[in-house]
Amino acid sequence: MKFYFPNNFFKISTLFFSLLFLTSCAQFFTIVPSGNINEDVKFKFYKNNTTDKTVELKVESVILERRIFNIWRQVWVIWEKENSKPASLKNINYGETPAGLDETIKPKKIKVGSSYKISVSGTLLSGETAYGIEVFHLSENGEVIVAKEGGGIIISERR
């Protein structure tokens, strides 16, 4: 389904009010990407920051996007299976689809020198809806580097 926006004002307003609604109804968690392209690229979930314990999440969706000429393109998408119990996870590895989730876009090869954004949504074991987003980069030697991304209210920032 495509939405038609007559101009950028409506598009930006819709996005702003959607984010405002989400922030008033949801918990945010931190996603920490790690690893390298030659082994596993792993994403761990934390309640607030990396000094906390990892948090268990009933995952409903995972979307990994790659930035190509300032446009985000989906490279891997998994969603909760219809009529199934969501997978309860503390982390996820790139390309490995946990039980209870369906791949809607098969994982494409990730590339060194590229920037990626991971978005995860689900439910905390406390029953609260939760969202997390993180941007990272793959260095020339394939190591995951967490990027500092501005302009997003739910993108975590680490140094």
pLDDT of residue 148: 60
Q: Domain 27-146, CATH 2.60.120 — does that match? A: no
pLDDT of residue 50: 65
Domain boundaries, the chain: 27-146
pLDDT of residue 97: 93
User: Residue 113 — φ and ψ, nearest 5°?
Assistant: 80, 5
Rounded Cα distance between 52 and 9, Å, is 39
Q: Are strands 129-138 and 27-28 parallel, antiparallel or unpaired?
A: parallel
Pull the structure tokens for residue 104.
């809607």
Q: Rounded to two decimals, what is the model's pTM?
A: 0.74
Tens digit of each residue's pLDDT, the chain (159 residues): 445 545 554 445 454 445 445 545 668 888 999 999 988 999 999 887 666 788 888 999 999 999 998 899 999 999 988 877 777 899 999 999 998 899 999 999 999 999 999 999 998 888 888 899 999 999 999 999 986 644 333 333 332
Count of C-beta atoms within a 10 Å radius of residue 71: 8
Q: Which of 95, 94, 98, 96 is nearest to 86 (CA)?
A: 98
DSSP 8-state class, residue 60: E
